[in-house]
Amino acid sequence: MKKTNNRSLPIIIIVSLLLAILFATIIFSLSQGILGGNHSTKLGRSEKKVSKARKKAKKSQTKKDTDPEPALKSEPDPKPDPAVEEAPQPAPKEPSKPKVNKPPVYSSKMICNDQALPFQTINQDDPNLEQGKTVVSQSGASGLKRDCYLVKYQDGQEISRQLSSSEVIKQPVNKIVKVGTKPPQPSGTFNYAQASQVLTYVNQERAAQGLPALVWNNDLAYYARIRAGETVTKFDHIRPNGQLYYSLNPGLINGENLVAGTPVPVTAAQAVQKWMQSPAHRANILEARFKSMGAAYLVAPSGLYKNYWVQLFSVQ
């Protein structure tokens, strides 16, 4: 086996390191030369570009200072199409405050209302006023009534209304109208003598039946003369004004007998005889409740029957 000299080993290492350093130095020098040339070339080109840019900017600035500024032109905004115009957006709502439950507030007050009370119209027959005529003897006036209500409210809203009182402040005054019932003066004459003799023949008939005699009543005789004139116009127990015979004095007149004709009756005896031949008229003459009577006999040549007899009865 061949032995190696230990003394030559460090020398070899040192030489190798030196060679390596030298080689690296050469490589570095070469690389610096190449890079330095490229850098110089690039730098020159860059300076030229900067110079040209400066000249161009200066020239542009000079032209801008000398040339007038071009006028600005704006195009009008296109009109919005009403068909597609957007609806206005509602204003944003304020955030609602949280509700606070408050206790209800109750109140009440009295309310009074006045209302008119209507008056009535009352017609009253007036035998002294000619038929077809009317006279207002008393004017009507409305009355006044006051109703008071207790009204209750909750939070300002009415919740109930109850009648508390009702009072008539002023009574109404009725209107009174006098209606004429006096018939037109007939073209005839009254025969008072024959009319008064009717009582004599009536009491004879009543006495035959055991009934008390009737007495003469001047008021009934007066109303009988009115009725006699009315029968010339309308021979009926319904008067020409449409009312019944007793409407002349309802509190006094309770029965009526009529008879008319030509050539008879022209006497009281003939008139009573005619009435006694009729059951209804006979019943009036013999009515036990009657106490008085009155009669009239009118001779009216212009009338249909010429002779008109009226007999009225009363329980008074």
- HEC readout, the chain: CCCCCCCHHHHHHHHHHHHHHHHHHHHHHHHHHHHHHHHHHHHHHHHHHHHHHHHHHHHHHHHHHHCCCCCCCCCCCCCCCCCCCCCCCCCCCCCCCCCCCCCCCEEEEEEEEEEEECCCEEEEEEEEEECCCEEEEECCECEEEEEEEEEEEECCEEEEEEEEEEEEEECCECEEEEEEEECCCCCCEECHHHHHHHHHHHHHHHHHCCCCCCEECHHHHHHHHHHHHHHHHCCCCECCCCCEHHHHCCCCCCEEEEEEECCCCCCHHHHHHHHHCCHHHHHHHCCCCCCEEEEEEEECCCCCCCEEEEEEEECC
The pLDDT of residue 94 is 72
pLDDT band at 60 (very low <50, low <70, confident <90, very high): low
Q: Comparing 88-97, 102-111, 217-226, which segment has the lowest mean pLDDT?
A: 88-97
Question: Among 1-15, 110-124, 233-247, whose mean pLDDT is lowest?
Answer: 1-15
Residue 43 banded pLDDT, cuts 50, 70, 90? very low
Give the residue-averaged pLDDT of 257-272: 91
Q: Is the pLDDT of residue 36 over 50?
A: no
Compute CA distances 13 → 5, 7, 17, 18, 21, whole Å: 14, 11, 6, 9, 12
Please tell me the predicted confidence (pLDDT) of residue 42: 46
Confidence check: pLDDT of 143 > 50: yes
Max Cα–Cα distance, the chain, nearest Å: 215
**Which range has the worst mean pLDDT, 85-94, 126-135, 137-146, 296-305?**
85-94
pLDDT at 259 (0 to 100): 96
Task: Say which residues have a Cβ less than 8 Å from residue 270's Cβ, sequence separation at least 6.
Answer: 264
What is the sign of the dihedral through the CA atoms of 24, 25, 30 and 32? positive
Do you know the residue count of the chain? 316
Residue 161, pLDDT above cutoff 90: yes
Over 50: is that where the pLDDT of 34 sits? no
Containing H/E element for 115? strand 106-117
- pLDDT band, very low/low/confident/very high, at 172 (cuts 50, 70, 90): very high
- Which comes out higher in pLDDT, residue 136 or 181? 136
pLDDT of 58 > 70? The answer is no
